[in-house]
Structure 1
């Protein structure tokens, strides 16, 4: 029996854990600008997270210099959402801001199916 890793307690799971080690994730898409993977602790039956690989704190903290990363993020989450919608007949897309944002790195959730917890 192996011990589970301790819960993550930092402020940016994506920069600290996911982006440096995508091999530890169930990756849906990965390129120089965007990483998409199945959530490590899913809230819904299907739950994919899409993040820019460059640190952007949140959607409301972006500027014109971030346009290429935002366009790449939009392109990937549109494609992932399209695939989830095809497979499940529906999909929801959301991002959190401010106090609702546990990990202080722009990320988009794409989900479908019943809530798991």
Structure 2
């Protein structure tokens, strides 16, 4: 879908929405709340990828959601954002 040296955005392997893209840093960071000061450049790069993917989905579908989960809501313990469109799949 979209890749930089430090970030990967890909279609979710088990989607919960009709359009479900996940953006992750290639470096392991367990959560948004465990980011460290030296991760700020990586976070900016990640946000740039999320912005591009969200713009692509919005251009194609007219809207999107950008979601991040924490704590018990975070199934995968690797920092990631969901870029989604549509109603949840049953």
With CA pairs under 8 Å and 6+ residues apart, which has the higher RCO, 1 or 2?
2
Task: Determine which structure has more spread, i.e. the larger CA radius of gyration.
Answer: 1
The answer to whether the aligner puts 1:80 opposite 2:53 as a matched pair is: yes
Give the Cα separation in 2 of the matches to 1:74 and 1:42. Answer: 21
Shift of 1:115: 1.7
Shift of 1:105: 0.5
Return structure 1 stretches of 4+ with deviation > 4 angstroms.
Answer: none
Q: How does 1:33-112 map to 2 (within 5 A)?
A: 33-112=6-85
Give the Cα separation in 1 of the matches to 2:20 and 2:32. Answer: 20
TM-score (norm 1): 0.74
SS of equivalent to 1:115: coil
Shift of 1:114: 2.5
Q: Deviations over 1:51-85 (max 9, x none)?
A: 00001111111121101110110000011001101
Give the Cα separation in 2 of the matches to 1:56 and 1:114. Answer: 29
Give the Cα separation in 2 of the matches to 1:81 and 1:30. Answer: 14
Q: Which runs of 5+ in 2 are unaligned?
A: none
RMSD (CA atoms): 0.8
